[in-house]
Amino acid sequence: MHLSPFFCFFFAVDWTVEYLNVPYNAAEGGWIAVGLVVLCAVMANYTGKALIKCLYASPGQRRLESYADIGDAAFGKAGRFAANLFQKVTLMGIGVIFLILCGIFLSSALPPLDSHDSDYWQTRWIWICACIVLVPILVLKTLREVALLSMLGMSATFITVISVVVLSLVDYYNPDVRGDVGNATLFGEHTFFNSSGFAAAFGSITLAFGGASVCPTIEGHMPQPEQFPVVYNWAFIALMIMYLPTVVSGYFVYGNLAQAPILQSLPSSGAAGQMVTAVQLIITVHLLCAYPIVINVVSEEVERNYKIDNKHRTPVMAIILRSIVRIALVMTTATIAYFVPHIAQVQDVLGAISLVFMVYILPTAFNMKLRYAELGKIELGYNVFILILGLAGGGFGAYQSINSLIDAFK
């Protein structure tokens, strides 16, 4: 199976719709979070390419197949276990995030179906969306078929980014456009650096670049793998085009009151409010299409490990076992989303605990182990810098984000 450069581009760019959260990250960490977005992008761009070089680190031997294979080549079973663990936690966590966002957007865009309020319907929409995405997950067997669902993603993304930038500025210069804000002084305050939330912001921003963790899979499925660095660079250019205007405009207008997702901060009445509602529905469709792509990666590996296919099982038994696995995965993400519907805190925790390892710590550790002789002093020092920053940022970020999640339940 081959994946087109477009799909590789899409998957690397549109990994977790984190662009909806970056203004909130600035509210956590201050204006310095804008620079943090750029720093994280530069580091993730390097580690993604380093992982590809690790695939070919043994001259004369066959190309390694996956992130886990790189871990095994570097540190044996411990490396493979770490790579598998953090990759599966990341993918399942992103599935949880998608369902929470669907619940938030649908409960905000659509009127309640009975006397209960929108908070009640947010959790109910999570289960409804889980049932909706279960259909393509059960029907479509492979990533080749699931990839067809991704075509809506890029257009939905750019529509959302443009809407956030334009409507936030409209809201700033015409504060009466929203019924619940009467003057611009209520838009929040700004700081350059906020130590109490900076580390949590670091972990959450890392979510934006989680595509680095699937670089080996993407490169292996490209018809021309040698094009990967070019495609990957363009993906990061697109990320900057989306993220920087969003974080600057969102934080400039709403300051420390910026919400996650930022669509919740935009005008809620009038023509602008109707546009926000339309964008919420568009991005919900996008999330429902992207969810099967993420979960399919996990289900395919489980099915491969337990030999759930027509070669090792009867056709009927293969269908039954495949359905059980996929239903269990969807229900697991839906259950977590239902009981922990706090999107900002969930993103912070997932980024600090899992994505920091996947994007910064493990790639640099594997790279130094497998390619130490090839690395010059400057590049070696850069690897050490990323490794130390990942450990420190991830550690402090996990502490801050977990405390924030606990506070959200109080």
- Which H, E and C letters describe the chain, residue by residue? CCCCHHHHHHHHHCCCCHHHCHHHHHHHHCCHHHHHHHHHHHHHHHHHHHHHHHHCCCCCCCCCCCHHHHHHHHHHHHHHHHHHHHHHHHHHHHHHHHHHHHHHHHHHHCCCCCCCCHHHHHHHHHHHHHHHHHHHHHHCCCHHHHHHHHHHHHHHHHHHHHHHHHHHHHHHHCHHHCCCCCCHHHHCCCCCCCHHHHHHHHHHHHHHHHHHHHHHHHHHCCCCHHHHHHHHHHHHHHHHHHHHHHHHHHHHHHHHHCCCCHHHHCCCCHHHHHHHHHHHHHHHHHHHHHHHHHHHHHHHHHHHHCCCCCCCCCHHHHHHHHHHHHHHHHHHHHHHHHHCCCHHHHHHHHHHHHHHHHHHHHHHHHHHHHCHHHCCHHHHHHHHHHHHHHHHHHHHHHHHHHHHHHHHCC
Amino acid 80: pLDDT: 94
Question: How far, in whole angstroms, is CA 294 from its chain's centroid?
Answer: 10
Other C-beta atoms lying within 10 Å of the C-beta of residue 76: 10
Q: Smallest Cα–Cα separation from 157: which of 289, 258, 44?
A: 289
On the CB side of 99, CA atoms within 13 Å amount to: 34
Neighbours of 237 (CB within 10 A): 13
- Residue 123, domain CATH: 1.20.1740.10
Which residue has 């210069």 as its token pair?
A: 173
CA distance 77 to 93: 24
Residue 171: CB atoms within 10 Å: 23
pLDDT at 160: 85
Q: Which residues, in sequence order, are CB contacts of 177 under 8 Å at separation 6+?
A: 170, 171, 267, 269, 270, 272
* Structural domain count, the chain: 1
Residues in contact with 115: Cβ distance below 8 Å, sequence separation at least 6, in sequence order: none
Among 139, 145, 133, residue whose Cα is nearest residue 96 = 133
Compute the CA torsion angle 103, 108, 113, 116 (nearest 10 deg): 90
Mean pLDDT, the chain cut into blocks of 10 residues (410 residues total): 52 67 92 94 93 85 86 94 91 92 91 76 93 87 53 73 88 60 58 90 86 74 81 84 91 90 84 87 86 82 82 85 93 96 89 92 96 93 96 91 87
Tell me the C-alpha distance between 4 and 151, whole Å.
Answer: 12
Residue 404 in tokens: 């924030």
Query: Range of 401's domain?
Result: 5-408
Q: Is the peptide bond before 225 cis (omega within 30 degrees of 0)?
A: no
Q: Model pTM greater than 0.75?
A: yes
Give the CA distances from residue 232 to residues 64, 172, 240, in Å, rounded to whole numbers and listed in that order.
Answer: 19, 35, 13
408/410 Cα distance (integer angstroms): 6
- pLDDT of 180 reads 47
Residue 333's pLDDT is what?
96
Those residues whose C-beta lies under 8 Å from the C-beta of residue 302, and which sit 6 or more positions away, are: 308, 325, 329
User: Which pLDDT score is estimated for 226?
Assistant: 83
Structure tokens that stand for 339 in this block: 């009981």
What is the reported pLDDT for 158?
81
CA distance 110 to 309: 41
Spatial contact of 212 and 28, defined as CB atoms under 8 Å apart: no
What is the model's pLDDT at position 178? 45
What's the pLDDT at 10?
A: 56
CB 390 within 8 A of CB 360: yes
